[in-house]
């Protein structure tokens, strides 16, 4: 995040003795980029270093679909199986050195584990369902259309209140775009969203003993450990680094007489990729406007688009939950007839919701992607 937030009890001065019921609390500096990035200070009832048992190590090497070629793709998440665990068993589809894009279908119920991603920030997009995100910083209630941003190193878990589907994006330095912020970190007038739209965690402290299973994820695998205390033992924290949520229906799209480029829909920036959101909005209203996307070839980027809901004017044969991958160097854009049909919709209302990830480096595909790929998709622009 970019603004200061405080929950619970904290001492007047940092790095000073802080007592609670005759117990000396343990101060943790939770931060990024060594001691030079954003951080928060958390006050624990127990030393956060305490581990009762080191469990198994489980490899997590993503199996690449190496003969996928270099073409456009369409994947159907509707054909994916359910996941047994949102962290251990999410299904990776697209990846490179900077980002991993996965999908998870979760039945109702509480997660049995606590999670911590050591290498990547995580962005969960709630495509369907309802859940409570629980973390060392507190809880956030999630509904359909919510983005949840979890800084790397955060300890958390989930309670799925009903069947849920989630798009999961892992990367580093996931942030609110700098162009939306003034020198003080405040979101400026005319930005895609405002501070009031952001859902922040509400702290709940657990002072419980027992066996609590935590899994720490790296890019290579999962390390299981056992704690003898509940990891959410924080009685207070403050700072600039913490999880938060944002709903796509609270976003404020910028529209105009003529077509706006995808950059106006940038929602989060990250290391070598961006996340954009196409949301319900008015179509272009110039009397001669073409209210539909350009033909473009994304020479310097690969474009991943997740179709969440609504009518997708530029595409036929797209279903809710589909993912397209448009390769840099291959032209893509409206399918035959889409430009002509769009002319009658100038100034009308478009109800589509879609999540776009645009990468600066080429992506690879997994064998899970091969199982749900439509090999005819590259020919969808062709009419004999």
pLDDT digits (tens, 9 = 90+) for 301-326: 999 999 999 877 656 778 899 999 99
Strand partners, 150: 122
- The per-residue pLDDT for 315 is 67
Q: If 0-12 CB within 10 Å is exposed, 13-18 middle and 19+ buried, where does residue 336 land?
A: exposed
Whether 59 contacts 41, CB under 8 Å? no
Question: Which residue numbers belong to the known binding site for homogentisate?
Answer: 332
Each residue of 302-315: b (16+ CB within 10 Å) or e? bbbbbbbbeebbbb
Proportion of the chain above pLDDT 90, given as a percent: 77
Compute the distance between CA of residue 275 and CA of residue 246 in angstroms, rounded to an integer: 13
Compute the distance between CA of residue 132 and CA of residue 134 in angstroms, rounded to an integer: 6
Question: Which residue numbers belong to the known binding site?
Answer: 296, 302, 332
Structure tokens of 215?
């899994």
Smallest CA-to-CA distance from 246 within 364, 355, 153 is with 355
15, 72, 73, 259: which one is catalytic?
Answer: 259
Whether 377 contacts 335, CB under 8 Å? no
Q: What is the residue-wise DSSP string for 80-111?
A: SPPPS-TTTS-EEEEE-SS-EEEEEEE-SEE-
Whether 37 contacts 4, CB under 8 Å? no
CA distances from 340 to 170, 256, 278, 345 (A): 38, 20, 21, 10
Over the stretch 197-237, which tens digit does the pLDDT of each residue have?
999 999 999 999 999 999 999 999 999 999 999 999 999 99
Smallest CA-to-CA distance from 2 within 193, 144, 135, 140 is with 193
**What value does the CA radius of gyration of the chain take, rounded to a whole number of Å?**
22
Element containing residue 338 per DSSP (H, E): helix 338-342
The per-residue pLDDT string of the chain (384 residues; one tens digit each, 9 = 90 and over) reads 678 999 999 999 999 999 999 999 999 999 998 888 999 999 999 999 999 999 999 998 899 999 999 999 999 999 999 999 999 999 999 999 999 999 999 999 999 999 999 999 999 999 999 999 999 999 999 999 999 999 999 999 999 999 999 999 999 999 999 999 998 889 999 899 999 999 999 999 999 999 999 999 999 999 999 999 999 999 999 999 999 999 999 999 888 888 788 888 999 999 999 999 998 887 787 888 887 777 787 788 999 999 999 877 656 778 899 999 999 998 888 777 777 777 767 767 678 899 999 999 999 999 999 999 999 999 988 887
DSSP code, position 293: P
Compute the distance between CA of residue 306 and CA of residue 320 in angstroms, rounded to an integer: 9
Instruction: Report residue 161: phi and psi, to 5°.
Output: -80, -15
Q: What is the residue-wise DSSP string for 191-231?
A: SSS-GGGEE--B------EEEEEEEEE-SSEEEEEEEEE-S
- The per-residue pLDDT for 314 is 59
Smallest CA-to-CA distance from 288 within 265, 262, 331, 259 is with 259
CA atoms within 13 A on the CB side of 342: 26
- The per-residue pLDDT for 313 is 63
Question: Which residue numbers belong to the known binding site for Fe cation?
Answer: 296, 302, 332
Active site residue 259: yes
């Amino acid at each position: 995040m970019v603004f200061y937030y405080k929950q619970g009890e904290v001492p007047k001065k940092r790095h000073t003795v802080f007592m609670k019921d005759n117990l000396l609390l343990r101060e943790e500096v939770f931060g990024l980029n060594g001691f030079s990035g954003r951080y928060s200070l958390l006050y624990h009832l127990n030393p956060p270093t305490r581990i009762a048992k080191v469990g198994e190590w489980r490899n997590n090497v993503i199996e690449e679909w190496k003969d996928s070629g270099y073409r456009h793709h369409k994947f159907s998440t509707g054909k994916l199986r359910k996941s047994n665990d949102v962290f251990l068993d999410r299904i990776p589809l697209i990846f490179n050195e900077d980002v991993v894009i996965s999908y998870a279908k979760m039945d109702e119920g509480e997660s049995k584990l606590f999670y911590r991603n050591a290498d990547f920030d995580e962005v969960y997009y709630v495509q369907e369902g309802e859940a409570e995100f629980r973390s060392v910083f507190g809880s956030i209630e999630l509904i359909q259309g919510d983005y949840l941003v979890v800084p790397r190193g955060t300890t958390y878990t989930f309670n799925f209140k009903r069947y849920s589907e989630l798009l999961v994006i892992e990367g580093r330095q996931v942030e609110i775009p700098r162009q939306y912020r003034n020198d003080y970190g405040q979101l400026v007038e005319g930005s895609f969203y405002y501070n009031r739209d952001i859902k922040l965690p509400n702290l709940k402290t657990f002072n419980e003993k027992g066996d609590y299973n935590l899994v720490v994820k790296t890019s290579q695998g999962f390390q299981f450990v056992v704690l003898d205390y509940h990891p959410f033992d924080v009685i207070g924290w403050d700072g600039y680094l913490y999880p938060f949520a944002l709903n796509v229906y609270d976003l404020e799209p910028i529209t105009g007489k003529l077509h706006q480029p995808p950059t106006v829909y940038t929602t989060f920036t990250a290391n070598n990729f961006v996340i954009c959101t196409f949301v319900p909005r008015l179509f272009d209203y110039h009397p001669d406007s073409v209210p539909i996307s350009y033909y473009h070839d994304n020479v310097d980027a690969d474009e991943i688009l997740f179709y969440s809901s609504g009518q997708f004017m530029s595409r036929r044969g797209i279903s809710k939950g589909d993912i397209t991958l448009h390769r840099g160097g291959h032209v893509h854009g409206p399918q035959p007839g889409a430009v002509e049909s769009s002319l009658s919709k100038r100034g009308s209302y478009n109800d589509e919701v879609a999540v776009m990830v645009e990468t600066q480096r080429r992506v690879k595909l997994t064998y899970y992607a091969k199982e749900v790929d439509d090999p005819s998709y590259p020919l969808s622009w062709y009419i004999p």
